[in-house]
Amino acid sequence: MHQLTTPREDQPLLTAVTSVGDAALAVEVLELRAKNEQLSQALVSRPVIDQARGMVMVLAPCSSERAWDLLVEVSQHCNVKLRDVAAALVATTKGQELPEAIRREWRRALRRLHALERR
């Protein structure tokens, strides 16, 4: 999905609306557009995240919730967006290698998971 306006296009909108005297409306429109863009990105990212989650469930093995937690954990420790970690993991099914930082963090996350299970 595409953003309806670009930031450059928002400025005339803001100017037009505020010239009418309704700055609050202009701010709300811009906030709604930003939220819309975030939701659009989430919809695009969701399938690859769900695929990665399924892969983790099979490979770990673990529950869906734990697979989500592992993906989030790796994302945060690598400082890489969750959708990018998921895409990298799914790309391994097509012969691509995981980037070293993500691979290293996956090993750590899986060791922590297995250590918790042994308790």
pLDDT at 1: 43
Joined together, the tokens standing for residue 115 give: 């250590």
pLDDT at 2: 45
DSSP 79: T
Question: Which regions in the chain score pLDDT beneath 50?
Answer: 1-3
What φ, ψ does residue 28 adopt, rounded to 5°? Answer: -65, -40
Burial classification of residue 24, based on how many CB atoms lie within 10 Å of its CB (0-12 exposed, 13-18 middle, 19 or more buried): exposed
pLDDT at 25: 85
Query: Cα separation of 90 and 98, whole Å?
Result: 9
Query: Cα separation of 76 and 106, whole Å?
Result: 12
Query: Cα separation of 91 and 110, whole Å?
Result: 19
Under DSSP, is residue 112 helix (H, G, I), strand (E, B) or coil? helix
pLDDT at 119: 78
